[in-house]
Amino acid sequence: MLDVDMLITKAKEARERAYAPYSHFRVGAALLTQSGHIYSGCNIENAVYGASNCAERTAIFKAVSEGHSSFRALAIVSDDEDYVFPCGICRQVIWEFSHDIDIFVCTADGSWQRHNIKELLPHAFHI
């Protein structure tokens, strides 16, 4: 059984470690693998914005580098009052590893919505 609240808590903890000196827009993500491991990530900015990395990709890259490439759920939280969704690049990276993952987008006050990657990226690029 998926503990959504625990996954969101892990995303909030990751948000606290965000490195966002330019935008001041902190994002945290928590990724649940099919085997039950959780990998968290935060956004990491750079003065050259193209060298920045989103929280979602940070979590995914950490998991893949540790041998996990099958994912069950992803929670994303920021300091914003609105729901924050993965950017287009992150959606494609998510799709690369899971064509049927639940994504929980959360507001700063703890409200959340469940979406599926198929809904967020209906015409994903694949070879």
Amino acid 98: pLDDT: 96
Q: What is the pLDDT of residue 18?
A: 98
Query: What does the pLDDT read at residue 1?
Result: 76
Active site residue 56: yes
Torsion-angle region of 110 (φ positive above 0: left; ψ -120 to 50: alpha; else: beta): left
What's the pLDDT score for residue 89? Answer: 97
Helix (H, G, I), strand (E, B) or coil at 87: coil
Averages of pLDDT over each 10 residues, the chain, 127 residues: 94 98 98 98 97 98 98 97 97 97 95 97 92
Which listed residue (56, 66, 96, 119) is catalytic? 56
Q: Please give the model's pTM, rounded to 2 decimal places.
A: 0.96
To the nearest whole number, what is the mean pLDDT of the chain? Answer: 97
Distance CA 76, CA 27 (A): 7
Virtual torsion, Cα 115, 119, 124, 126, nearest 10 deg: 70
Residue 126 has a pLDDT of 87
- What confidence tens digit (pLDDT) does each residue in 97-111 have? 999 999 999 999 889
Spatial contact of 43 and 54, defined as CB atoms under 8 Å apart:
yes
The domain 4-120 is classified under which CATH number: 3.40.140.10, 2.60.40.10, 3.10.450.50, 3.20.20.60? Answer: 3.40.140.10
Question: Domain residues of the chain, as ranges?
Answer: 4-120
Collapsing DSSP to helix, strand or coil, 29 comes out as strand
